[in-house]
């Protein structure tokens, strides 16, 4: 009998990639200004390396969850990501 392992759902992978790319781009902009050296060409490489590392670490942690809890954990991950997306959207939405 093959047991399935719990993984991050694909929409969450995409959302994580977007947020990490935005964060890395902003950090590299600030670092470029501080160092007086243009680092903007490295943002895609750094963001993709960080996203890949985060996905590997999270999937490794999720692989220790028993297969019977796969649907529960996936639902909790989607709920958590939805809440985080809502809070991020609410932060950038103009008030008033």
DSSP conformation letters of the chain:
-PPPPP---HHHHHHHHHHHHHHHHHHHHHHHHHHTS--GGGHHHHHHHHHHHHHHHHHHHHTTS-GGGHHHHHHHHHHHHHHHHHHHHHHHSPP-
Query: Which residue ranges make up each domain of the chain?
Result: 10-92
For the question of whether the overall pTM of this predicted structure is more than 0.75, the answer is no
Looking at residue 1, its pLDDT comes to 46
Percent of all residues in the chain with a pLDDT value above 90, rounded to a whole number:
1
Looking at residue 74, its pLDDT comes to 82
pLDDT category of residue 63 using cuts at 50, 70 and 90: confident
pLDDT tens digits, 34-48: 888 887 788 788 888
Distance CA 23, CA 60 (A): 23
pLDDT tens digits, 16-33: 888 888 888 888 888 888
């Amino acid at each position: 009998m093959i047991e399935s392992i719990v993984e991050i759902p694909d929409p969450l992978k995409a959302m994580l990639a977007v947020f990490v790319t935005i964060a890395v781009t902003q950090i590299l902009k600030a670092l470029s200004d501080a160092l007086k050296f243009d680092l903007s060409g490295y943002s895609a490489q750094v963001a993709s390396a960080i996203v890949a590392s985060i996905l590997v670490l999270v999937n490794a942690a999720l692989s220790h969850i028993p297969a019977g809890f796969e649907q529960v954990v996936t639902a909790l991950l989607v709920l958590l990501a939805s809440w985080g997306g809502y809070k991020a959207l609410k932060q950038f939405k103009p008030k008033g």
